[in-house]
Structure 1
């Protein structure tokens, strides 16, 4: 049974969310303010957090930053605020998805499932990646710092956008796998609802500038003509 933490000061909304998701098979804990939420994050260790941006004691974005300093748990913002600027702020604070009120409970459930699925998919691959790094020192040229959402490229931290980080995370956890543009769109669609094939190409260009020694002759992020892109490890790139 997956565990869900609801941080919401509107009792009626919190109860409604909890009742529905409990019916979907989740174990639920509720917090009516940020302080309670932080305590339950540590004690309850949820699989997903539903976080309202407007809390009596914390600004939701600041709370998201605080939570992200101590946990990699998927965080979904559930808020009345629908402005693009609010979504961007939440994204930069470390949130994984954003749902505007009012919303469909079916959509909420589907998005929560997607967050859990993505988190579970990354865990075993991340462990495998660490084993590979232990045996191949050259793999350490490019790594992810998930806590700070940064890339470590040849010993230097490089900032990325949300979409760039998610794409690079997908590449690094599945080296050699060819991803179509649609695959990459689906990986970042949580926030960027208007992402297109052209936007993916722009993200790839920007990532090459950040990780390649010569972006015009990429060794790591390769184009697979007619299909999409794949990430090639240092060992494979030198063969």
Structure 2
């Protein structure tokens, strides 16, 4: 009965006075869903909590009651993404991704061949428009390329679409 607890996602919001870009990036890299610096209004905090809660509730309700019977696995020539147990393997070895790197990769593999703007990725992965932080997407994409691509300098899977964003070029043999 307690196995299901590991599937629940507890949203994490950092409220802090540290407003440097480095601090924000580290907080989000470590798995926070949102990062808010002082001063902020109570209304903004509540709006952000509602947005995070709405996103996590939608994800959990979409999994259905029989999630244990479902496997959401995407197989590519160079790696495998298992959305059910939040794992990635490359050549039979586990790939260590941060929570946000994994969420970004999952977002890509579910939307192959589609050009995704940085703003769309921020909204889809971080859950809202994170104004002024589109470079954070570039940083996460760079880290993902280092971990899943054969040659990160000449990526096969995560392609840059100059002036627009990124496109995932993987053909998957998906198992459910």
TM-score bracket, shorter-length normalisation: 0.5 to 0.7
In structure 2, the residue matched to 1:39 is none
Q: List runs of 5+ in structure 2 lacking aligned partners.
A: none
Q: 1:183 aligns with which of 100, 120, 138?
A: 120
Contact 2:115/2:167, CA 8 A, preserved across alignment: yes
The structure having more radius of gyration, on CA atoms, is 1
**Which structure is richer in relative contact order (CA contacts within 8 A, separation 6 or more)?**
2
2:163 matches 1:206: no
Q: Is the 8 A contact 1:78 1:101 kept in 2?
A: no
Aligned pairs for 1:123-134 (under 5 A) are 124=62, 130=71, 133=73
Q: 1:225-236 to 2 correspondence within 5 Å?
A: 225-235=162-172
**TM-score (norm: length of structure 1):** 0.48
Q: CA deviation at 1:145?
A: 6.4
Deviation at 1:209, TM superposition (A): 1.7
CA contact (8 A) 2:161 2:167 kept: yes
CA contact (8 A) 1:142 1:211 kept: no
Change over 3 Å in CA distance of 1:150–1:103 after alignment to 2:
farther
What is residue 9 of structure 2 aligned with on the other side?
73
For the aligned residues, what is the CA RMSD?
4.3
TM-score, normalised by the number of residues in structure 2: 0.61
The structure-2 alpha-carbon separation of the partners of 1:225 and 1:121, relative to structure 1 and needing over 3 Å to count, comes to farther
